[in-house]
Chains A and B, each alone.
Chain A
Amino acid sequence: MTRLEAEPVPRDLVDIGPIESFPVGRLITIEFAGRTIGVIRTGTGIHAIGNRCPHQGGPICRGIVTGTMAPSLPNEYVYEKDGEIIRCPWHGYEFELSTGQSVGGAVRGRVAIYTVEARAGRVYFALRRVPADSA
Chain B
Amino acid sequence: MRVKVDQMDCTGSGMCELSVPEIFALDAAGLATVRADGLLTGAIVTVDGVAVPAELEDAVRAAAAGCPGACISCHESLWRRAMSGRPLLPLASTRASLKGGDVS
A-side interface residues toward B, CB under 8 Å?
Answer: 35-36, 50-59, 90, 107-112, 127, 129, 131-132
Contacts and interface: CB of A to CB of B under 8 A. Distances in A.
B12 A57 contact: no
A3 B67 CA distance: 52
A131 B103 CA distance: 30
B82 interface: no
B29 interface: yes
A107 B13 contact: yes
Interface stretch (B3-11, B55-63, B85-93): B3-11
Interface residues of B, number: 20
A111 to B, nearest CB: 7
Contacts of B101: 59
Interface string B57-85: 00000000001111000000000000000
A58 to B, nearest CB: 7
8 contacts: A35-B8, A52-B11, A57-B69, A57-B70, A59-B100, A108-B13, A109-B30, A112-B9
B100 A110 contact: no
Nearest to B102: A59
Nearest to B69: A52
Contacts, number: 62
B12 A108 contact: yes
Given A57-B69, A109-B13, A112-B11, A52 B30 contact: no
Nearest to A57: B68
B90 to A, nearest CB: 15
Nearest to B68: A57
A109 B8 contact: no
Interface string B1-36: 000000111111110000000000000011100000
Contacts of A52: 9, 11, 68-70, 100
Contacts of B97: 57
Contacts of A131: 29
Given A52-B9, A54-B12, A132-B29, A112 B100 contact: no
Contacts of A56: 68
Contacts of A50: 9, 11, 69
